[in-house]
Amino acid sequence: MEIKISHKPVPYKEAMKFLEEKVEKVHANIEDEIIWILEHDSVYTKGISASDDDLLIPNLFPVVETNRGGKFTYHGPGQKIVYFVINLNKREKEIKKFVRNVEKWIIAILKDFNISSFADPKNIGIWIKKNNEENKIAAIGIKVKKWIAYHGFSLNINVKKSDYRGIVPCGISSKGIINISDLCKIPNDEKINNSIKENFYKLFNS
């Protein structure tokens, strides 16, 4: 397993090109699987089930179509992006179980910082209940090709919430967005990255 950490923002299209090439190399057993931790500059991404009606302000940020599952989401400063390329040919070929494990992975990361969160079977992502309201703290988008699972998730650290105003995030208008910074003092970057890595190994290599 390769762990790649980028300390400067990576353009979204550049990241997608890397992932697509990595999928082919992992499938051909030329290269190892990867976890890639990074950040993007502000961008709206349009998943395969997105509706154009959910793009409210078309020119606020660049809009990029992507082949991941899901609808519109936002990526930008203050958000931790975790991409992966995982070979399900060498693991269990169960997509639903894999998605559940990704959810458990994010929940475990948040638990490391004493944050209680949950997955919603009806609305993909990870949610926080605060003041009787449900708010999304992490978005998940996954594609499986040749039994290689890729794309990943975004985790809100201290993202500017108004940057979401140009879209209906994940097609859900009735729920809000929340950051780790709304719930506790922001952990340092190294601690977050270590939690991402350690909880991956616990869940996926057990």
* Residues whose CB is less than 8 angstroms from the CB of residue 59 and which lie 6 or more positions away in sequence, other chains included: none
- Phi (first) and psi of residue 189, to 5 degrees: -60, -40
User: How many CB atoms within 10 Å of residue 115?
Assistant: 17
Joined tokens for residue 204: 């996926």
Q: Helix, strand, or coil here: 35?
A: strand
Catalytic residue among 107, 139, 157, 170: 170
| Angstrom distance (rounded) from CA 49 to CA 83 | 20
Residue whose pair of structure tokens reads 């990870």 in the numeric block: 126
* Active-site annotation holds for 184: no
List active site positions.
170
